[in-house]
């Protein structure tokens, strides 16, 4: 049904524990998904071998050794056995409600499904063997975690062939996930916010794994380069820019006042020829989304 792919960090210390938790959750989804682990970081090959995931060691990197988004997506699409793909960060646990949501939106020809995450501290291996593990995880996230603001995205579900060409963004640095939402909107696709129906659990961690030689991953050279690729700051799109929301009652267009205002303000970004027209009639330039 779904090909899940990720670019894990080195399997060391706490990061190893949370990545194994995430990997186990993906492999336990039903119907079974194809799971691709990209890159040759320490411990990735062994984790793939032990779990039964497919390992793809070759991935393009920048001069600091950080994997590149375009290489990851292109490699995953070539290896995918399903026509629907899901990129997910390697520290994110997925539950069965993801596949339920995918079935609901898969009827659309062009779509990008995203959603907010729950930030949760997990310091131990989760006991996935227990029959009620998914229910307990969902309850644990709601009682011990917090819903992350709609600024960054930790997963993307999309059909094969959706991305024709991607820039060489650095994985795990700011801006690229926002650009993906912008690009989907610019291409006329439906951007679906699945937060209400999909519980995505991000296991919190530090950034000691970063190869950026002590540079801040949010403001160092890789971050600046990513933002240079994005271009004008108005292309920093977030879940506030989704065109649809998935609810327990089904998929619908979101006509909420906040999102309607946001759509008006982003019209000249998505349709540059409107910029002069809107300026002439006194409509403000689109605000920059917070990152």
Indicate the pairing of strand 54-56 with strand 34-38: parallel
* C-alpha span between 126 and 137 (Å, rounded): 9
Q: Which two tokens stand for residue 102?
A: 């995918």
In total, the chain counts a number of residues equal to: 291
pLDDT digits (tens), the chain, 291 positions: 999 999 999 999 999 999 999 999 999 999 999 999 999 999 999 999 999 999 999 999 999 999 999 999 999 999 999 999 999 999 999 999 999 999 999 988 899 999 999 999 988 888 888 878 888 999 999 999 999 998 889 999 999 999 988 999 999 999 999 999 999 999 999 999 999 999 999 999 765 545 544 457 777 999 999 999 999 888 999 999 999 999 999 999 987 788 888 888 888 888 877 765 656 555 555 444 444
Tally the C-alpha atoms within 13 A of residue 58's C-alpha that lie toward its C-beta.
Answer: 4
Q: Are the beta carbons of 47 and 150 closer than 8 angstroms?
A: no
Domains along the sequence of the chain with CATH = 3-241 (3.90.550.10)
**Which residues touch 148 (CB under 8 Å, ≥6 apart)?**
116, 117, 118, 119, 202
């Amino acid at each position: 049904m779904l090909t899940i792919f990720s670019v894990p960090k080195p399997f060391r210390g706490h990061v190893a524990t949370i990545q194994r938790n995430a990997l186990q959750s993906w492999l336990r989804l039903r119907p079974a998904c194809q799971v691709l682990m990209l890159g040759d970081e320490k411990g990735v090959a062994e984790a793939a071998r032990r779990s039964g995931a497919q390992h793809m060691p070759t991935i393009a990197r920048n001069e600091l050794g950080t994997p590149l988004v375009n290489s990851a997506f292109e490699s995953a699409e070539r290896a995918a056995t399903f026509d629907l793909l899901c990129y997910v960060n390697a520290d994110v646990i997925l539950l069965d409600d993801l596949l339920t949501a995918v079935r609901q939106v898969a009827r659309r020809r062009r779509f990008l499904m995203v959603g907010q995450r729950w930030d949760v501290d997990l310091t131990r291996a989760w006991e996935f063997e227990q029959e009620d593990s998914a229910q307990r995880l969902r309850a644990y996230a709601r009682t011990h975690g917090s819903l992350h603001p709609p600024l960054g995205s930790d997963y993307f579900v999309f059909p094969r062939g959706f991305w024709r060409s991607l820039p060489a963004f650095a994985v795990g640095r700011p801006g690229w996930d926002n650009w993906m939402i912008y690009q989907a909107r610019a291409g006329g696709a439906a951007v679906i916010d699945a937060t209400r129906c999909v519980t995505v659990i991000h296991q919190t961690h530090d950034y000691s794994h970063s190869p950026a030689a002590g540079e801040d991953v949010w403001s160092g050279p890789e971050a600046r380069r990513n933002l240079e690729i994005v271009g004008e700051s108005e292309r920093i799109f977030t879940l506030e820019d989704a065109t649809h929301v998935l609810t327990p009652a089904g998929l619908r267009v979101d006509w909420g006042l906040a999102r309607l205002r946001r759509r008006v303000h982003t019209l000249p970004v998505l349709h540059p020829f409107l910029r002069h027209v809107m300026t002439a009639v006194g409509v403000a330039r689109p605000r920059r989304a917070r990152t």
